[in-house]
Structure 1
Amino acid sequence: MRSGPGPAAADTWWLPRAVVALRVRIFEKVNGDRAVTLPDARHGPEVFERVYAHPAAGGRSAGAGLSDLFWYWLAPGPEVHQEHLEPGARYEDVAATTRRLLAGSSTALAATAGRTIARVLEELPRDRISLVRLRDLVMPAWAEFCYELVFKEPCPPRARELITAHADDVVSALKCTSLRHPRRRAALTAYLRERIAAGDVPDPLPSSLTPLEQVHYLQGTFFNTAVVQLSEATAHVLLALARHPHVQHRLAAAPDDERYLAHVLDETMRLYPLFGIAHRITTDAIPLDEDTTLPAGTVVCFSYPAYHATGYDRPGAFDPDRWTDRSRKHVHHIPFGMAANRPCPAWRLSPLVLGAAVREVLGRFRLDSTASHTRSIPHRAPCLLIPRGLPGRPRRLAALRTAVRARDAVEDVTRGVRQLVLGTVMVLHARRQRAATRYFEEHPAGRCPVARPEGDNG
Structure 2
Amino acid sequence: MWVTGVLAAAAVLTAPRWLPARVVALRGKVFEKVNGDDAITFPNADVGPDRFQEVYGHPAANGRSRGAGLSDLFWYWLSPGPEVHQEHLEAGPRYDDVARTTRALLAGPGDALSAAAARCAGRVLDEVVTGQVALVRLRDLMTPVWAEYFYELVFGEPCPREARDLIVGHADDVVTSLKCTGLRHPARRARLTRYLARRVAAGDVRRPLPASLSPAEQVHYLQGTFFNTAVVQMSEAMAHVLLALAQHPDVAARLAADERYFAHVLDETMRLYPLFGIAHRITTGDIALDERTTLPAGSVLCFSYPDYHATGYARPDVFDPDRWRDVQARTAHHIPFGVAANRPCPAWRLSPLALRGATAEVLRRVTLHSTVTHTRSLPSRGPCLLVRAGEPLPPRRLAVLGAFLRVRDRWEDVWRSVVQLVLGTVMVLHAHRLRLAGRYFDTHDTQGRPLRQEPPSTQEITE
Please state how far the C-alpha of 1:329 moved relative to its aligned partner.
1.6
1:225 aligns with 2:229: yes
In structure 2, what is the Cα distance between the partners aligned to 1:445 and 1:138?
Answer: 36
Q: Whole-Å Cα distance in 2 between the matches of residues 250 and 171 of structure 1?
A: 32
Distance in 2 of aligned mates of 1:288 and 1:384: 50
What corresponds to 1:270 in structure 2?
271
Deviations 1:416-445 (A, max 9, x none): 000000000000000000000000001034
Paired amino acid for 1:310? T
SS across alignment from 2:368: strand
Structure 2 match to 1:5? none
* Alignment pair present for 1:59 and 2:63: yes
Please give the secondary structure, in 2, of the residue aligned with 1:219. Answer: helix
Q: State whether structure 2 residue 217 is matched by structure 1 residue 213.
A: yes
1:77-156 paired onto structure 2 within 5 Å: 77-156=81-160
Correspondence 1:353 to 2:357: no
Measure, in 2, the Cα distance between the counterparts of 1:91 and 1:307. 28
Among residues 127, 150, 163, which one is paired with 1:159 in the alignment?
163
Q: Which residue identity does 1:138 align to in structure 2? A: M
What is the root-mean-square deviation in Å for CA atoms of aligned residues? Answer: 1.3
- Kindly state the Cα deviation for residue 394 of structure 1 after the two structures are TM-superposed: 1.5
Q: What is the aligned partner in structure 1 of residue 76 from structure 2? A: 72
2:320 maps to 319
**1:55-91 deviation line (CA, Å, top 9, x unaligned):** 0000000000000000000000000000000000000
- CA distance in 1 between counterparts of 2:90 and 2:126 reads 43
Match of residue 201, structure 2, among 197, 203, 208: 197
Determine if contact 1:440/1:446 at 8 Å carries over to the other structure: no
Residue matched to 2:3: none
Distance 1:445 1:360, change over 3 A: closer
Is 1:387 paired with 2:391? no
Q: Deviations over 1:345-372 (max 9, x none)?
A: 0000000010011100111111110010
Residue of structure 2 equivalent to 1:454: none
- Aligned twin of 1:247: 251
Secondary structure in 2 matching 1:328: coil
CA distance in 1, matches of 2:215, 2:265: 42
If the length of structure 2 is used for normalisation, what is the TM-score?
0.92
Identical columns (%): 68
Q: CA deviation at 1:388?
A: 1.1
Residues 338, 199 of structure 1: CA spacing in aligned structure 2 closer, same or farther, 3 A cutoff? same
Any unmatched runs of 5+ in structure 1?
A: 1-11, 449-458
C-alpha deviation, 1:391, in angstroms: 4.4
Separation in 2, partners of 1:406, 1:341: 43
**Is residue 52–residue 341 contact of structure 1 (8 Å, CA) maintained in 2?**
yes
Q: What is the rounded CA distance, in whole Å, between the counterparts of 1:264 and 1:251 in structure 2? A: 8
Instruction: Tell me the CA shift for residue 21 of structure 1.
Output: 2.5
Q: Is the contact between residue 99 and residue 345 of structure 1 (CA under 8 Å) also seen in structure 2?
A: yes
* Distance in 1 separating the partners of 2:394 and 2:21: 39
SS at match of 1:361: helix
Alignment size in residue pairs:
434
Counterparts of 1:119 and 1:445, CA distance in 2 = 43
Once residues 309 and 205 of structure 2 are traced to their aligned partners in structure 1, the CA distance between those partners, rounded to angstroms, is 39
Preserved CA contact (<8 Å) 1:62 1:447:
no
* Matching of residues 384-423 of structure 1 within 5 Å: 384-423=385-424
2:184 aligned partner: 180
CA–CA distance in 2 between the matches of 1:365 and 1:391? 10
The 1:43/1:237 distance shift into structure 2, 3 A limit, reads: same
Residue number among 39, 47, 52 corresponding to 1:35 in the alignment: 39
The answer to whether the Cα contact below 8 Å between 2:90 and 2:446 also exists between their aligned partners in 1 is: no
Within 2, Cα distance between the matches of 1:161 and 1:16?
33
CA contact (8 A) 1:166 1:185 kept: yes
Mapped to 1, the partners of 2:72 and 2:248 lie a distance apart of 39
Amino acid of the residue matched to residue 249 of structure 2?
P
Q: TM-score, normalising length from structure 1?
A: 0.93
Q: Secondary structure at the match of 1:30?
A: coil
Verify the 8 A CA contact 2:238 2:359 in the aligned structure 1: yes
Shift of 1:392: 3.3
Match of 1:451 in 2: none
d(CA) in 2 for partners of 1:177 and 1:430?
16
- Counterpart amino acid of 1:48? F
**What is the CA–CA distance in structure 1 between the aligned matches of 2:446 and 2:405, rounded to whole Å?**
52
Please give the alpha-carbon distance, in whole angstroms, between the structure 2 residues aligned to 1:232 and 1:17: 22
1:432 and 2:463 matched: no
What is residue 330 of structure 1 aligned with on the other side?
331
| Alignment check: 8 A CA contact 2:20 2:413 kept | no
Shift in Å, 1:126: 4.8
How do 1:9-24 residues align onto structure 2 when only pairs under 5 Å count?
13-24=17-28
Between structure 1 and structure 2, the one with the greater Rg is: 2
Contact 2:65 2:89 in 1 (8 A): yes
1:248 offset after TM fit, Å? Answer: 1.1
Superimposed CA distance per residue, residues 186-217 of structure 1 (whole angstroms, 9 cap, x where no aligned partner): 00000000111111112100000000000000
- The alignment status of 1:300 with 2:301, answered yes or no, reads yes
Give the residue type in structure 2 aligned to 1:111. A
Aligned twin of 2:7:
none
Counterpart Cα distance in 2 of 1:346 and 1:130: 31
SS of 1:330's partner is coil
| Preserved contact between residue 278 and residue 305 of structure 2 (Cα < 8 Å) | yes
CA distance in 2 between counterparts of 1:125 and 1:422 reads: 34
Q: Please name the residue that 1:455 is paired with.
A: none
1:393 maps to a residue whose letter is P
**For 1:154, what is the secondary structure of its paired residue?**
coil
